[in-house]
Amino acid sequence: MSIGEIMNRSEQTPPSRLRRFASRDGAFNATPARIVFGLDSSTAVHDEVRHLDRRRALVISTPGRRAMAEEIAAALGDLSVGVLPTAVSQVPIELTRAGRKAATEMGADCIVSIGGGASIGLAKGISLELGLPIINIPTTYSGSEMTAFCGITIDGVKIMHEHLNMLAHTVIYDPRLSLGLPRASSAASALNALAHCVDGIYVTSSSPIHQLTAIEGAKVVVNGIRAVWDNPSSLEARSELLYGAYLAGAALAGGFALQHGLAHTLGGSYNVPHGNAHAVVLPYVAAYNSAFARDGVDAVAASLGSESLSGTIHDLLHELELPARLPDVGIGTEDLDRIVGITVETDNGLNPGPVTHEAVRGIVDAAFIGARP
């Protein structure tokens, strides 16, 4: 029997009643093929490059993580072609072009990134066109190591890109590497991860797997950052928060919505650090979307032992001494119209609630005042 004959004989059930694996095209956005998690797991980077059958790894970091990158290059030995310590936040397009040129000239056949979102973003930007396999070794909690998304800043506007070339093959989670991250940076990075879980619960391209991961991830991230805040030198706390970041990144693989669009406007156009950009608007985006995705928002709130997700996040910002108002990150009233315009113009259409000028203006006005939603 042919496929056509089977289709003709099948029961004509309305599409709305059929189970869907994901909301967009029935497709599941995958996560990296290999996860290595454990204390001192980064020492196995040589074996992981061998596992990919590669021989010329380029190690990428920020200037501040250069010493750590050189240690990774030393662990790689003759499998490393060198270190490129040029990554910066917001991933400027000029930097990715220079990185591609350097990788080509050095004859790299794979990339090992070590650091946070800046290093991972540069690795993605290089591989977007070159198609080199990526091994990410995150030292923060951003979760971006798990996705095929990358925000690249072009002419002062951060544009999200999605391509399987940017999906890492391997992610190595070593809790020891995050021990030196200051409390404030840890808190901001954790709010970045929490934002993935919030956007991930209701983005219209998400699957049931992503949604379940978002609910669990939110709980682990919030518990983890509180433990790290109380005892930054605790390997147990760092390990739990890193696990939460893994879950958050896996949830984000389902897609991103208004929360990320607004945070990327603040980062790409106003140079607000990525974690703070997410933190300062997250309570108000969650409050807005709760009217359109009540079940998902309530499920995340329940995982945190709360009846109000937006209120709980607002309180968490104060608990962790994070920016809680747009003026706290350098945004003035004269900036609000442009922030709204860029956010609406670059919206990807996956938010549960309409992304109109009026709606976004209401969100940024609330974030400017900073009252508990």
Indicate the residue type of 44: A
* Residue 159 DSSP code: E
Residues 133 and 49: beta-carbon distance below 8 Å: no
- 320: tokens are 């962790």
pLDDT over 70 at 23, yes or no: no
pLDDT over 60 at 7, yes or no: no
- Residue 359 to residue 262: CA distance in whole angstroms: 12
- Residue 240 to residue 176: CA distance in whole angstroms: 12
User: What are the tens digits of pLDDT across the range 213-255?
Assistant: 999 999 999 999 999 999 999 999 999 999 999 999 999 988 8
User: What are the tens digits of pLDDT across the range 92-148?
Assistant: 999 999 999 999 999 999 999 999 999 999 999 999 999 999 999 999 999 999 999
The pLDDT of 191-218, averaged and rounded, is 94
The pLDDT of 171-200, averaged and rounded, is 97
Intervals of CATH 3.40.50.1970 along the chain: 34-178
Q: What's the pLDDT at 290?
A: 97
Intervals of CATH 1.20.1090.10 along the chain: 183-369
Q: What's the pLDDT at 207?
A: 83
Question: Which among 112, 96, 98, 100 has a CA at the least distance from the CA of 55?
Answer: 112
Q: What angle do CA 263, 33, 58 make, to 5 degrees?
A: 75
- 124: tokens are 């993605």
- Residue 175 to residue 140: CA distance in whole angstroms: 9
| Residue 18: pLDDT band with limits 50, 70, 90 | low
pLDDT over 70 at 329, yes or no: yes
Q: What's the pLDDT at 208?
A: 87
For the segment(s) 34-178, the CATH number from 1.10.287.3510, 3.40.50.1970, 3.40.50.10490, 2.30.110.10 is: 3.40.50.1970
SS3 57: strand
CATH H superfamily, domain 183-369: Dehydroquinate synthase-like - alpha domain (1.20.1090.10)
User: What are the tens digits of pLDDT across the range 45-85?
Assistant: 999 999 999 999 999 999 999 999 999 999 999 999 999 99
